[in-house]
Amino acid sequence: MTEPVSLDLPSVELAQLHPIDVVALVRPGDPTHRPRILVLYGSIRERSYSRLLSEEAGRLLCWFGCEVRTFDPRGLPLPDGAEPDHPKVKELRDLADWSEGMVWVSPERHGAMTGIMKAQIDWIPLALGARRPTQGKTLAVMEVSGGSQSFNAVNQMRILGRWMRMVTIPNQSSVAKAFLEFDEAGRMKPSSYYQRVVDVCEELVKFTYLVRGRSAYLTDRYSERAESAEKLSERVNQRSI
């Protein structure tokens, strides 16, 4: 376990931040490598609160023993505005394939997630041939807002997570008046909002350990076993829609 001080978590009560009890969550034969988590955020502003929140989540996930990678959405074309071999699209899809779990962090804008957030999710295909690259992976959702606390963005992302056949954890985070919750250095201040972020990260890691070793079995379906691979590929391939 990485030492918490080295990860600079000034808002954490270190005595209460417990390492994940992996033995309680896995069985013999389960994967033993560090959980691989992809973090997406939904704003490209210079001072992006969704990015700052995603960075806080990344630090916590690293402390909990994960390997964390964050996608920078700058330069990502609009969905269908480029070919899948576009460098930013390929980078995003490769990261989605690599990951075993994800964190989606969006601002709420006009009562919804941002177009930047949605574009990233839309570029991750529901299917590549007969393979569904997000199926069975874990997901945590968070949002920031400029006003009072709202859950519009996280609720929308939950719908998308279900559509992508992901295992979205029960906990979530919504940070109200985000401009008050981060200091000048971009670090999140101690608060009940921050405590919820810690809760979400801890829960995501636990669920990822539980799910990843048996996701193939959890997503094995009669209807798909009854189809040939060729017919399944034809049915789920989005490029034919």
CA-wise closest residue to 174 among 159, 189, 158, 194: 194
The dihedral through the CA atoms of 20, 62, 137, 27 has a sign that is: negative
What are the structure tokens assigned to 91, written together?
């980078």
The answer to whether 56 touches 188, Cβ cutoff 8 Å, is yes
Q: Which residues are CB-contacts of 218 (< 8 A; sequence separation ≥ 6)?
A: 136, 167, 211
> Domain 4-8+32-240: which CATH class?
alpha beta
pLDDT of residue 225: 76
Q: What is the rounded distance in angstroms from the CA atom of residue 182 to the CA atom of residue 197?
A: 13
What does the domain layout of the chain look like in residue ranges? Answer: 4-8+32-240
Q: Distance from CA of residue 4 to its chain's centroid?
A: 22
pLDDT of residue 209: 96
**Cα first-last separation, the chain:** 47
Q: Distance from CA of residue 108 to its chain's centroid?
A: 17
pLDDT of residue 227: 67
Q: pLDDT tens string for the chain (241 positions)?
A: 334 334 689 899 988 999 999 999 998 889 989 999 999 999 999 999 999 999 999 999 999 999 999 999 999 999 999 999 999 999 999 999 999 999 999 999 999 999 999 999 999 988 776 567 899 999 999 999 999 899 999 999 999 999 999 999 999 999 999 999 999 999 999 999 999 999 999 999 999 999 998 888 888 888 777 766 667 667 666 555 5
pLDDT of residue 125: 87
**101-164-127-204 Cα dihedral, nearest 10 degrees:** 10
**Is the pTM of the predicted complex or chain greater than 0.85?**
yes
How much of the chain is in helix, strand and coil states, percent to nearest 5?
40, 15, 45
pLDDT of residue 126: 81
Left (φ > 0), alpha (ψ -120 to 50) or beta: where does 49 sit?
Answer: alpha
Residue 43, SS3 per DSSP: coil
Q: What is the rounded distance in angstroms from the CA atom of residue 134 to the CA atom of residue 131?
A: 9
pLDDT of residue 130: 59
